[in-house]
């Protein structure tokens, strides 16, 4: 009697042991190294770093390994580690203009200064299973057939700046570099949210959620006529300017994917028509995420641009309160924790109501 | 665990949370936004309660952790172990021996005393949330003390069912001012909140809110003159200790409809049995 709820402690220990065993799988199969995950599951590592808000390939690879490939669990692990790290400083804004570009495409002009650079993309692959890959050692080192003369020094100006020069797109003067930047991981989200906080929320947000929300805008739920103005992927320098030193210091180089959407124009009797912007940025190679983020960012600018919020994607509270997959996953899954006290209260009431019903209306 | 600070959180974070707690105590029932941190346990498992406990716990505290009234449910065990590992404080299952009690869904049956702190794990702090999904709106409603919709909701229950059909997280007014959702404790426990000698702290991690009921504060469950607030009753005592007027859990003991009703508060129940049993541990 009363065994069902006893023995919690031993049950937990045993569950942890079982989990460790399942994670390792058949010991006859070689164990994964972090380097293998980093190199060969690089896009999983990128996603975990982006939504985990921590740029550290080795830790993200460890999280992927520990979570048995469950990326939301890996993101959670990385976040729970990140939360313990001290905040040493705030970097200068990334200069994506100065990016060492590995991929760069614009869908709005056939050619642009700096050129279209396809880079490593799945876009034009035929999605046929490559059975050769099933065999180890079948892979031979491959490089580009004919390496284009990459001219690292050649500037790759942003397509948006070209539009801006003509006044065709709303200008976006950079905020003061001294102005404080919001941080959701230190201060709770409040509404209405400023754009810096919104972009941080979306950058940390679940890729699948943003994909669906962005997709919905394309299907008419808050349509905003997007064009992929520019997508660029590559390495940028992270620079700190500590007060006590007095000059900027480059502390790291990171890979990011940036997407700038050009959206429906707006004009009025007093202002000439101009295109509007949506922005997306993610760590590593994460084009789907960056594009979806840019669509959602633009949809959420509705209030600022005087649009009627008619769809969930345009509803700031709806999107920003539900984008975080660590929060969502936790709250959905907490339903498996015991709720028998509350349920007992409901049972008592429902039985009373049924008894009362039976006594007044027989049957 | 030596690489982590006492009680896991760094001191700056604890200070931030303590400031939120102080504000919550100063404005009873008001939801104070705070910079909730990502914790090494899942959202929904008590991240808010754990952060509050981590911020107020000291080396001389004695901690009790319960879930559904029980000390030995898996999540209670897990959270107790977390604090054992990160603080090394003494833990107990005895309600009166604890200085700090973290709970999910219950208030112990043993009366609380002066100096104790009860920390509640809260999933949805906003009492008006099911009536108005928007935070910007509900904050306004609290500011204007605009709680008519909640009375209307209770009134609709009465017209439909002849009584208020809210059984847990039953809304209360704290100190005559703020409408508060008393975490999802059963309404059975609501009267224990009223003028309690203990300090009650509520932490909602995912929703990033802290609120409080200071000792000896009035906590009134909403009702109407002709439909006064009532709590659940069972028409039998606990099958193990014989206690009446306590919250009972229902166990289904066979597939023929056999049922057993026992105390939800395991500490209360086992000590009543030990006291009346000449051979302890029978």
Q: pLDDT for A69-100, tens place per residue?
A: 999 999 999 999 999 888 888 899 999 999 99
pLDDT at A1: 41
Cross-chain residue pair A185–B123, CB shorter than 8 Å: no
Q: How confident is the model at residue B259 (pLDDT cuts 50, 70, 90)?
A: confident
Provide the annotated active-site residues of B: 29, 238, 241, 263, 269
| Phi/psi at A265 (5° precision) | -90, 165
Are the CB atoms for A60 and A48 separated by under 8 Å? yes
Report the sign of the C-alpha dihedral through residues A201, A204, A209, A215, in that order. positive
Cross-chain residue pair A345–B248, CB shorter than 8 Å: no
Distance of CA B33 to the CA centre of its chain: 19
User: Which of residues A164 and B193 earns the better pLDDT score?
Assistant: B193
With beta carbons under 8 A apart, name residues in chain A contacting B81. Answer: 9, 12
Cross-chain residue pair A331–B240, CB shorter than 8 Å: no
How large a percentage of chain A has pLDDT more than 90? 60
Across the interface, which of A83, A333, A341 has its CB nearest the CB of B42? A333
With beta carbons under 8 A apart, name residues in chain A contacting B40. Answer: 80
Least confident of A35-49, A78-92, B140-154: A78-92
pLDDT at A363: 47
Mean of pLDDT over chain A: 89
Are the CB atoms for A158 and A94 separated by under 8 Å? no
Taking CA–CA distances from B210, the nearest residue in chain A reads: A188
Q: Is A82 on the interface with B (CB under 8 A)?
A: yes
pLDDT at residue A21 is higher than 90: yes
Q: How confident is the model at residue A152 (pLDDT cuts 50, 70, 90)?
A: low
User: Which of residues B56 and A142 earns the better pLDDT score?
Assistant: B56
pLDDT at A149: 55
Joined together, the tokens standing for residue B27 give 């404005």
pLDDT at residue A56 is higher than 80: yes
Cross-chain residue pair B167–A330, CB shorter than 8 Å: no
Cross-chain residue pair A8–B264, CB shorter than 8 Å: no
Q: What is the 3-state secondary structure (H, E, C) of chain B?
A: CCCCECCECCHHHHHHHHHHHHHHHHCCCCCEECCCCCCCCCCCCCHHHHHHHHHHCCCCCEEEEEECCECCCHHHHHHHHHHHHHHCCEECCCHHHCCEEEEECCCCCCCCCCCCEEEEECCCCCCCCCCCCCHHHHHHHHHCCCCHHHHHHHHHHHHHHCCCCCCECCCEEECCCEEECCCCCEHHHHHHHCCCCCEEEEEECCCCEEEEECCCCCEEECCECCECCCCCCCCCCCCCCCCCCCCEEEEECCCCCCEEEEECCHHHHHHHHHHHCCCCCC
The predicted complex's ipTM stands at: 0.78
Joined together, the tokens standing for residue B198 give 């203990």
Q: Among B208, B203, B211, which residue's Cα sits nearest to residue B51?
A: B203
What value does the mean pLDDT take over residues A227-231?
94
What single-letter DSSP state applies at residue A336? G
What value does the mean pLDDT take over residues B137-160?
95
Cross-chain residue pair B67–A337, CB shorter than 8 Å: yes
Across the interface, which of A4, A86, A331 has its CB nearest the CB of B206? A331
**Structure confidence by residue, pLDDT tens digits, B167-218:** 999 999 999 999 999 989 999 999 999 999 999 999 999 999 999 999 999 9
pTM: 0.86
Inter-chain CB pairs, A–B, below 8 Å: 143
Tell me the nearest-neighbour CA distance from A334 into chain B, angstroms.
5
With beta carbons under 8 A apart, name residues in chain B contacting A83. Answer: 37-39
pLDDT at A179: 81
- Per residue in B28-54, is it b (16+ CB within 10 Å) or e — as a string? bbbbbbbbbbbbbbbbbbbbbbbbbbb
What value does the mean pLDDT take over residues B78-96?
95
Half-sphere exposure at residue A218, Cβ-oriented, CA atoms within 13 angstroms = 14
pLDDT at A34: 97
pLDDT at residue A270 is higher than 90: no
């Amino acid at each position: 009697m009363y065994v069902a709820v006893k023995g919690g402690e031993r049950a937990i220990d045993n569950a942890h042991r079982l989990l460790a065993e399942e994670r390792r799988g058949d010991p006859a199969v070689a164990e994964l190294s972090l380097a293998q995950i980093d190199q060969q599951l690089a896009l999983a590592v990128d996603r975990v770093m982006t939504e985990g808000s921590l740029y550290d390939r080795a830790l993200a690879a460890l999280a992927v390994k520990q979570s048995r490939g469950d990326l939301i669990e890996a993101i959670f692990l990385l976040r729970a580690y990140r939360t313990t790290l001290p905040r040493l400083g705030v970097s200068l804004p990334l200069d994506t203009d100065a990016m060492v570009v590995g991929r760069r495409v614009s869908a709005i002009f056939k050619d642009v200064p700096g050129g279209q650079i396809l880079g490593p993309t799945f876009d034009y692959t035929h999605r046929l299973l490559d059975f050769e890959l099933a065999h180890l050692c079948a892979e031979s080192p491959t490089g580009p057939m004919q390496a284009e003369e990459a001219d690292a020094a050649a500037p790759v100006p942003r397509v948006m700046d070209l539009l801006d020069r003509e006044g065709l797109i709303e200008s976006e003067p950079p905020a003061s570099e001294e102005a404080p930047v919001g941080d959701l991981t230190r201060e709770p989200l409040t509404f209405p949210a400023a754009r810096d906080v919104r972009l941080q929320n979306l950058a940390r947000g679940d890729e699948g959620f943003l994909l669906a929300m962005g997709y919905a805008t394309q299907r008419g739920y808050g349509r905003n006529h997007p064009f992929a103005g520019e997508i660029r992927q590559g390495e940028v320098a992270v620079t700190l300017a500590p007060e006590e030193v007095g000059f900027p210091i480059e502390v790291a180089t990171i890979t990011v994917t940036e997407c700038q959407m050009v959206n429906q124009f707006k004009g009025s009797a007093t202002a000439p028509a101009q295109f509007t912007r949506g922005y997306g940025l993610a760590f590593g190679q994460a084009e789907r995420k960056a594009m979806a983020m840019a669509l959602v960012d633009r949809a959420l600018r509705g209030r600022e641009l005087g649009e009627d919020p008619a769809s969930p994607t345009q509803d700031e509270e709806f999107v920003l309160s539900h984008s975080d997959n660590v929060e969502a996953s936790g709250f959905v899954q907490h339903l498996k924790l015991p709720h028998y006290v509350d349920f007992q209260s409901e049972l008592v009431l429902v039985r009373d109501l049924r008894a009362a019903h039976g006594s007044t209306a027989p049957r | 665990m030596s690489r982590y600070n006492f009680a896991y959180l760094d001191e700056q974070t604890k200070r931030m949370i303590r400031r939120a707690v102080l504000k919550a105590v100063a404005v009873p029932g008001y939801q104070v936004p705070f910079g909730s941190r990502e914790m090494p346990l899942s959202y929904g498992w008590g991240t808010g309660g754990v952060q509050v406990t981590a911020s107020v716990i000291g080396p001389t505290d004695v901690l009790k952790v319960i879930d559904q009234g029980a000390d030995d449910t898996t999540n209670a065990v897990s959270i107790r172990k977390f604090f054992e590992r990160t603080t090394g404080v003494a833990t107990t299952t005895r309600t009166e021996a604890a200085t700090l009690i973290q709970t999910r869904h219950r208030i112990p049956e043993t009366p609380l005393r002066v100096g104790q702190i009860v920390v509640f794990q809260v999933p949805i702090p906003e009492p008006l949330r099911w009536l108005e999904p928007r935070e910007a709106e509900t904050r306004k409603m609290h500011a204007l003390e605009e709680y008519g919709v909640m009375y209307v909701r209770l009134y609709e229950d009465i017209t439909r069912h002849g009584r208020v059909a809210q059984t847990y997280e039953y809304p209360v007014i704290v100190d005559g001012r703020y409408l508060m959702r008393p975490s999802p404790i059963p309404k059975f426990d609501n009267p224990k909140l009223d003028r309690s000698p203990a300090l009650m702290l509520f932490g909602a991690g995912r929703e990033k809110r802290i609120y409080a009921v200071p000792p000896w504060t009035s906590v009134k469950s909403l009702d109407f003159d002709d439909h006064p607030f009532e709590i659940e009753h069972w028409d039998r005592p606990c099958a193990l200790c014989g206690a009446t007027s306590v919250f009972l859990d229902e166990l289904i003991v066979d597939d023929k409809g056999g049922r057993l009703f026992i105390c939800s508060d395991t500490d209360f129940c086992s000590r009543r049995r030990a006291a009346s049993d000449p051979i302890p541990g029978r």
